[in-house]
Amino acid sequence: MAERLKNGNSQAGAKQRTEKSAGSGKRRIRRPVKVALVIAFAASVAVVVFLHGPLAFDSVAESINAGKRVSAKINGITNCSGAVRDTLRRALEPLMAPDTCPYSRAAVEKIALEIPAIEKVSIKKVKDRQSRQLNITIKVTERKPVALVHCGKISLVDKYGVRFPAEAGRYYDALPLLVVGTPESDTLKHEIEFFNRVMKASRNLGDSFLNQISQIDISNSDEVNLIFKSGEAEYLLDPDDIEDKLVRVKSLRQKLLQDEGDPMRIDMRYRHIAVVLAQK
C-alpha cells in the first residue's frame, strides 16, 4: 500500500514537472516574440518620425500652443509724451500679432527698454475669461534730461549719463548745454558726475546763479569753460576744487553785472587772481 502511494506521488510529481516545463517553454517562446514585435513597432515609429518628424512635431506644438496661447492687446500707454507712446506702440506691434508666441512680460519690457527715452515701465494686465484676451496697460517712466549734451551731435542726457534723442519741435531752453570731448562709451559716466558736481555747487549759490548757467564746456580735461545766459563773461576754471571756484565766479559776476561793461573772457585758473584774456 505504501509502495502504491509512493508510486502515485511520484507519477503526480512527474506530471506537474512536465506541465511546468511545457508552460515555461511556451513563455520562453512568447517572450522573444513580444520583444521582436516591440522592436518592429519602434523601428516603424522611428521611420515615420524621421520622414515626417518636423511636420508632426510642429502640428503637435501648434495644437498645444493653440490651447494655451492668450492673445494680448495694448489697452493704453500712459505717463509719457505722444512721441514716446507712438514709438513704443509701433515697437510692440509684432509682439501683439495673433500668430506670435504667447504673451511674455519679459519680452514687452525688453522691447520698451531698448527705446533710449524710456527709463523703466510698469505693466498691468487684465484677462478676459471669455475671449482669453489680455488687456495690457503700460505705464512709462521717461528719462528726465538734466542737460543738452554736445559730443558730435546734440542730444539729451539724464542724471545717469545716458544719452537719448531730443523730441522734434520741443524746446529745451531751460537746460544748460554740456560740451564734452569724444566719449569713451555710450554712457557719459565721468562727464555727468562732474556736471552734477557743478550743478550741486551752483544750487547752493542760489537760483539766480543756477538758472543763469547757459553752457559748461569740459571738452578740454584741463579746464572748464563756463558761460551764463546774461553773457557778461566767459569764465575759465580749473576742474579741481570746482566748488570753491564757483564761489569766486559768483562774486566777480555780481561786479561785472553792475558795471555793465563789454563781455569778457576771464581766466580764473590761478589762485586768488582773475586774468582778463580778451574782450569778447
Range of the domain at 85: 71-142
Terminal Cα-to-Cα distance of the chain (whole angstroms): 146
Burial of 84 (0-12, 13-18, 19+ CB in 10 A): buried
Mean residue pLDDT of the chain comes to: 78
pTM above 0.75, yes or no: no
Does the pLDDT at position 175 exceed 80?
yes
- Alpha-carbon distance 9 to 13, whole Å? 6
Give the mean model confidence (pLDDT) for residues 84-109: 85
pLDDT band at 156 (very low <50, low <70, confident <90, very high): very high
Asked if 237 and 249 sit in the same domain, the reply is: yes
In the chain, DSSP finds a helix count (H) and a strand count (E) of: 6, 12
- Alpha-carbon distance 3 to 21, whole Å? 27
- Alpha-carbon distance 39 to 181, whole Å? 73
- Grid cell in block for residue 211: 538758472
Does the pLDDT at position 55 exceed 50?
no
Give the mean model confidence (pLDDT) for residues 201-216: 90
Query: Higher confidence at residue 147 or residue 94?
Result: 147
Domain's final residue, options 93, 127, 142: 142
Give the mean model confidence (pLDDT) for residues 49-70: 46
Does the pLDDT at position 7 exceed 70?
no
Asked if 78 and 128 sit in the same domain, the reply is: yes
Domain's final residue, options 119, 142, 165: 142
- Alpha-carbon distance 257 to 35, whole Å? 103
Does the pLDDT at position 244 exceed 60?
yes
Does the pLDDT at position 147 exceed 50?
yes
Does the pLDDT at position 14 exceed 90?
no
Q: Rounded to whole angstroms, what are the CA distances from 175 to 119, 141, 146, 215, 250?
A: 19, 20, 7, 9, 20
Does the pLDDT at position 234 exceed 80?
yes
119: helix, coil or strand?
Answer: strand
Asked if 126 and 154 sit in the same domain, the reply is: no
- Alpha-carbon distance 166 to 26, whole Å? 87
Give the mean model confidence (pLDDT) for residues 50-79: 59
227: helix, coil or strand?
Answer: strand
- Alpha-carbon distance 199 to 214, whole Å? 12
- Alpha-carbon distance 201 to 55, whole Å? 68
Does the pLDDT at position 2 exceed 80?
no
Asked if 105 and 206 sit in the same domain, the reply is: no
Residue 33 lies in a domain: no
Does the pLDDT at position 3 exceed 60?
no
Domain count, the chain: 2
Least confident of 38-42, 194-198, 240-244, 276-280: 38-42
Query: Higher confidence at residue 183 or residue 259?
Result: 259
pLDDT for residue 73:
85
Does the pLDDT at position 180 exceed 70?
yes
Give the mean model confidence (pLDDT) for residues 136-145: 95
201: domain CATH number is 3.40.50.11690
Residue 35 lies in a domain: no
Asked if 186 and 229 sit in the same domain, the reply is: yes
127: domain CATH number is 3.10.20
Asked if 138 and 77 sit in the same domain, the reply is: yes
